[in-house]
């Protein structure tokens, strides 16, 4: 393996083994790539809570801070000899003025809704000093520029995410119970993922397919509102809430369902689509966010306007139907994942632009 001789400093939010969410999952994969692809050991500064004071990686320097004050102290009280600063979350750009670098190249990753607004104050000042913008989708880059158009001429590269490794063996057959799966945090702060719209449409789905079920996985302060909506529509027998589940249970539900349904309005990417495609499950995405870049409708599923109930009903019924078209979607979903969206694919895309001076090839077991 050829490696880069540039020394990297990573500024990341906490992504230890007990963290959940797409930002954290992709951060783990990204930093593993940097560690594997750097000849000179990189340094990781992690902004975390008090309960997360632990070394997350062995063999490389990891600094864990739990306040801005501590981060600033760490930055000011040492000499930094790094060549590249890789900022995984836009909010951490505010730490940059406190580091004293003789010369450094700054790369920042734009992940989603945190970038979809006008940037102000210290973050805005530091954006002018960024040498390379990464975004996890073209949609995220366009939304960033909508509110921050002065950076349009800056170097930019879309780095599509990826997770995991290909499934071994044949694509598992779904359960005999035809079910659509919704899988996400149930947070009022993320009340844009399509749960209300899908539940509202479910009585019309049942008119065409009386035996189907809707499985909702996840927990949070939105769950009670959704349960009340289900009760008001008398759907308690057809809509099941599973709460938080283990990774093994999540994998089983993905394999048992016939499709993943998440017509969201605000996905910067949507790792859950990859989890479904990996096991050959087609996805319902929205026409309004980055889900289309992942699923590429109609290749690995369908896309709807979440404001159009008739579209939602028709598309869910098509994705639940036992048909040659479903089999084609299933095959294409798994193939699209395996050709484009494994963790190794993501790592290679990232390193090609973050450390471009030398070709970096990751071994298979780095995925």
Spatial separation of the C-alpha atoms in residues 319 and 301, rounded to whole Å = 8
140 and 25 part of one domain: yes
142 and 14 part of one domain: yes
230 and 138 part of one domain: no
Quote the number of domains for the chain: 2
Give the pLDDT of residue 55: 43
Q: Would 29 be classed as within a structural domain?
A: yes
**What pTM did the predictor assign?**
0.91
Domain range holding 304?
179-340
Give the pLDDT of residue 22: 79
SS3 category, 63? strand
146 and 263 part of one domain: no
209 and 118 part of one domain: no
Q: Would 44 be classed as within a structural domain?
A: yes
Q: Would 174 be classed as within a structural domain?
A: no
Q: Would 139 be classed as within a structural domain?
A: yes
144 and 65 part of one domain: yes
159 and 226 part of one domain: no
Q: Would 171 be classed as within a structural domain?
A: no
The mean of the pLDDT values for the chain is 91
33 and 123 part of one domain: yes
157 and 249 part of one domain: no
Q: Would 173 be classed as within a structural domain?
A: no
Q: Which ranges of the chain have pLDDT less than 50?
A: 1-3, 55, 58, 359, 365-367
SS3 category, 86? strand
295 and 189 part of one domain: yes
Give the pLDDT of residue 367: 39
361 and 270 part of one domain: no
327 and 348 part of one domain: no
Q: Tell me, what CATH number does 189's domain have?
A: 3.40.50.2000
Give the pLDDT of residue 53: 53
- In b/e form, how buried is each residue of 59-94, taking b as 16+ CB within 10 angstroms? ebebbbbbeeeebbebbeeeeeebbbbbbbbbebbb
Q: Would 52 be classed as within a structural domain?
A: yes
Q: Would 253 be classed as within a structural domain?
A: yes
Give the pLDDT of residue 182: 98
User: 206: which residues sit within 8 A by CB, 6+ positions away?
Assistant: 212, 238
């Amino acid at each position: 393996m050829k490696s880069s001789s540039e020394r990297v400093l990573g500024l990341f939010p906490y992504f230890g083994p007990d963290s959940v969410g797409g930002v954290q999952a992709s951060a783990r994969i990204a930093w593993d790539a940097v560690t594997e692809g750097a000849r000179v050991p990189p340094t990781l500064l992690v902004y975390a809570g008090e309960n997360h004071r632990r070394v997350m990686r062995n063999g490389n320097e990891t600094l864990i801070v739990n306040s801005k004050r501590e981060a600033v102290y760490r930055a000011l009280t040492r000499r930094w000899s790094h060549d590249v600063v890789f900022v995984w979350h836009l909010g951490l750009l505010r730490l940059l003025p406190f580091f004293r670098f003789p010369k450094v190249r700054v790369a920042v990753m734009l992940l989603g809704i945190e970038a979809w607004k006008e940037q102000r104050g210290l973050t805005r000042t530091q954006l002018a000093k960024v040498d390379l913008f990464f975004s996890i989708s073209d949609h995220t880059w366009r939304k960033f520029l909508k509110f921050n158009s002065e950076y349009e001429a800056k170097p930019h590269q879309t780095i599509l995410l990826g997770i995991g490794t290909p499934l071994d063996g044949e694509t598992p057959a779904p359960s005999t119970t035809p079910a659509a799966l919704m899988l996400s945090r149930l947070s009022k702060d993320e009340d844009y993922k399509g749960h209300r719209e899908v539940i509202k449409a479910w009585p019309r789905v049942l008119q065409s397919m009386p035996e189907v079920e809707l499985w909702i996985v996840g927990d949070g302060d939105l769950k009670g509102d959704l349960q009340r909506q289900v009760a008001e529509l008398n759907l308690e027998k057809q809509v099941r809430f599973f709460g938080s589940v283990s990774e093994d249970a999540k994998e089983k539900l993905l394999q048992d369902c016939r499709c993943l349904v998440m017509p969201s309005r605000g996905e910067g990417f949507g790792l859950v689509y990859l989890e479904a495609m990996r096991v050959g499950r087609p996805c319902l995405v929205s026409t309004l966010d980055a889900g289309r870049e992942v699923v590429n409708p109609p290749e690995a599923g369908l896309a709807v306007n979440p404001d159009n109930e008739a579209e939602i009903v028709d598309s869910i019924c098509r994705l639940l139907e036992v048909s040659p078209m479903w089999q084609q979607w299933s095959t294409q979903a798994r193939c699209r994942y395996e050709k484009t969206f494994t963790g190794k694919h993501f790592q290679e895309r990232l390193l090609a632009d973050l450390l471009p001076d030398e070709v970096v090839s990751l071994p298979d077991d780095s995925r």
